[in-house]
Amino acid sequence: MTVSCRTASCAMGIATASASCDGMGGCPAPTTTTCAPFTCDTAACATMCMMDSECAEGSYCAAGVCTPRLPPGGACTINNACASGFCADGVCCDQACNGQCEACDVAMAVGTCTAVSGAPRGTRSACNGSGACGGTCDGTARTSCTYPPTTTSCRTASCAEGSATAAATCDGMGNCPATMTTACAPYRCVDAACGTMCTTDAECDGGTRCIGGRCEGPRSNGTGCSRDAECASGTCAQGVCCNRACDGLCEACDSEGTGGACTPRPAGQRPVITSGTTVRPPKGCLCNGSGMCVVPEPVDAGAPDAGNIVRDAGTDLGMDAGPAPQYGFQGNGCGCRVGDATSRPSGALFALGLAGLLMASRRRRRSASVEGTVGR
């Protein structure tokens, strides 16, 4: 009959096998087994695991098998696989190493968390922004990216399609502010900025004209102007925008109430010679109210007219047998006077008249003397 002298047991990761008496009064020496990487399972070493606690210290449970934990630099997928308890960038690391600008897989330092330069490594979030304002890892800062200062230019001022785009600088957080554009009309965009004044039409846009240093839309008829280009009609006449050239001797575009329409000058006004006049007016002509310049009917050398172009009722001292008198303008241009002393022999007529008066006076004195003699 077999008599048990020792029951199986397991403690402190060491399993002791059961034993029976040897029949000679003795119990065999204990037989022990180290359970690592497993632990004791009641009275014997475990042979599989479901959790890390079922594995010896320095091991972890991987797919039901207790596996020794890895040193820094060992390939891993979970923290439990690493002796340090940290798996970063696919290797066991000496620390968590989760800063935006650090990594544990840097060449020549695998397994040691190291600050990096350039773009963040692995699954870490990328730096904000791009281009001139974009952030980057500078090899010193570990927790976050470094960004260009707010003095960094990210957009230069420019002109395009009649609009000016303002220059801009980075906001210090990786961003270039939204584009700000300004429509330059009625001015042109010159040297990356909208104009604010002009000296020529070339500095104006949108069909506007340079008028008094400012770009303005073409002016309507009847509005003051200094040149044709300022008018929508293309014609500036007598200082106003006009519906046509209006360069006739007796035409006007600046008459009140005409709204910039070319109309005949009132009767009796003198003709006006403009830069567009090609025909000189007849000497002494006056406007007739229908756009024509007509020489008025001549007057004689009697009493001066009171501004009316009609024959007067005066009595000539001489004879009207000479050539027709020439006329010049007098006063407001509505009255006329004899203008050419050579057109009538006024000096000779005066002398003849004076001689006639003297002869008549002598005859009267003679008659009076004869009558006195007879009476005595």
pLDDT in tens, 252-262: 998 888 889 99
pLDDT in tens, 20-79: 888 888 898 998 998 889 988 888 888 899 999 889 989 999 999 999 999 999 999 999
**Domain ranges within the chain, ordered by starting residue:** 1-68, 71-147, 153-213
Mean pLDDT taken over the chain? 82
Q: Looking at beta carbons, which pairs linking 155-162 to residues 24 or more positions away fall under 8 Å?
A: 155/179, 156/192, 157/192, 157/193, 158/192, 159/184, 159/189, 159/190, 159/191, 159/192, 159/193, 160/189, 162/188, 162/189, 162/205, 162/206
pLDDT at 230: 87
Note whether 218 and 231 are within 8 A (CB): yes
Residue 286 in tokens: 């006056």
Q: Please give the share of the chain, as a percent, with pLDDT higher than 70.
A: 78
pLDDT at 303: 53
pLDDT in tens, 257-308: 888 999 999 998 888 887 766 677 888 899 998 888 898 877 655 555 554 4
Give CA–CA dist 286/134, Å, rounded.
83
Of 250, 225, 229, 252, nearest in space to 240 by CA: 225
User: Among 26-30, 197-201, 357-361, whose mean pLDDT is lowest?
Assistant: 357-361
Q: Which is more confidently placed, 364 or 102?
A: 102
Q: Is the pLDDT of residue 333 over 50?
A: no
**What sign does the dihedral 11-16-18-21 (CA atoms) show?**
negative
Q: Is the pLDDT of residue 202 over 60?
A: yes
